[in-house]
Amino acid sequence: MKKKSHHPLIMGTLILTVTGLLSRVIGFFYRIYLSRLFGEEGMGIYQLLNPVLSLAFSLTAAGYQTAISKLVAERAATDRSHPLQPMFAGLSISIPLSLLCNGVIYLFADPIACNLLGEPRTASMLRILSFSIPLSAVHSCINGYFYGIKKAGYPAAAQLVEQVVRVASVYLVSGYCFSIGREPAIGVAVLGLTVGEFFSMLVSIGSMALCRENAVSPLHNLRSCTVYRPLMQMALPLTANRIVLNLLQSVESVSIPARLRMYGYDNATALSVYGVLTGMAMPLIFFPNALTNSVAVMLLPIISESYALGDIGKVRSAALRTVKYCGAMGFVCMLGFVLLGRWAGSFLFDSALAGHFITTLGFVCPFLYLDTTLSSILQGLGMAGHIFVMNVFSLLIRLGFVFLAVPAYGITGYLWGILASQLAQTILYLLCLRRFLRKAVRQPAGDYAVR
């Protein structure tokens, strides 16, 4: 008798959740270490790098990882022909793009720091950060392949190694600086990020040699160009969407300190408040999202596969279970953050302001955790365009609060914007999914199957 196989969604989610929780525990204490090592202003400067990193990742890797995962899953569900082809095709596009991005950021670090980020002290950090982009592109494409074949253990191992190496690097370099009587600069944290990406890439490449599904010559997969068209049809809209969204997010991130100065803060205070919010409070709010992120990553190939086979009943069942359980988890976390947020801010970060932010942001948890998984379901159903429009609408709400409410009410105005935008996004996602499922019930299953 054959052994009963485990459900790939459950097993994949379990692996990613355990690894994600370990990584977040390490990362959480790492954030506490950074906040006490570099202070609130240093954290604010460090967080200013996020728009550049996010935009580079969107341009070079994010869309290709998702497209590779979806295409590999569809091939595995239908004809099982050369599932490695999408990964090698993605790498052949992603690597040149990432090297170009690496060069542009390195050469133009000073103008980017002064004119775009509004903080000249980020220039040296941008140069270090630029080298992490090609490394991230390689392991993201490989991860997309593993998610597509539902082998979540390999990307999970790479994620854990990245986090451990990042923290160890910063700790060792900081310790060395103190031993010679020097204060470590915030650039040490960026160096740790780049070193972590390098080791994560090595683990991902090594995983390809260990995976038994790769018993086919890579050269054979490279000879076929038929995969480029479907890959680009999926990746280009996703990439364009991510770029537009990240441009809007970059405007948001850079504008918050500027608007706080309009409210009456000096530059150091504005950066400190921004650093407390984005470097202390938000990582704690996102901590339980390790579970919903894991569910989202594994849902994409599951939904794509079911949709390709025309099994709308399975799509509906997965969607309803996801909404029920992620929504319940969000409400439990909301109660925890609202009741214990002020204590957590003082105990963990020694910051009463962080406690205020945690308590206020706790109300966003039900919507935040639902949005992560609903977005993955809609992507698996090929609704990237709908997601893009809804995300832009949500971001425009936040930007409206940044430009109109923050100068009048300070950072509290931005917190209101986060709550309003996440609520709007959840409602739109649910309406979109409900419309799709109601329409699917009235159509024959064969209309959805991949021909």
pLDDT exceeds cutoff 80 at 78: no
Q: Locate tokens 């537009």: which residue?
A: 244
Query: Can you say whether the dihedral through the CA atoms of 62, 288, 25, 37 is positive or negative?
Result: positive
Domain ranges of the chain: 8-444
Amino acid type, 305 = E
Q: In this predicted structure, what is the pLDDT of residue 225? A: 57
Q: Locate tokens 């991860």: which residue?
A: 143
Q: Which tens digit of pLDDT belongs to each residue from 395-414? A: 899 999 999 999 999 999 99
Q: Locate tokens 């594994």: which residue?
A: 298
Q: pTM of the prediction? A: 0.68
Output 292 or 86, whichever has higher pLDDT.
86
Residue 214 CB burial class (10 angstroms; 0-12, 13-18, ≥19): middle
Measured in whole angstroms, the distance separating CA 324 from the mean position of its chain's CA atoms is 23
Q: In this predicted structure, what is the pLDDT of residue 206? A: 87
Q: Which tens digit of pLDDT belongs to each residue from 30-64? A: 877 887 788 777 888 888 888 888 888 888 888 88
Contacts of 9 (CB under 8 A, 6+ apart): 295, 298, 299, 302, 318
Amino acid type, 151 = K
412/332 Cα distance (integer angstroms): 24
237/63 Cα distance (integer angstroms): 8
DSSP string, 65-83: HHHHHHHHHHHHHTT---T
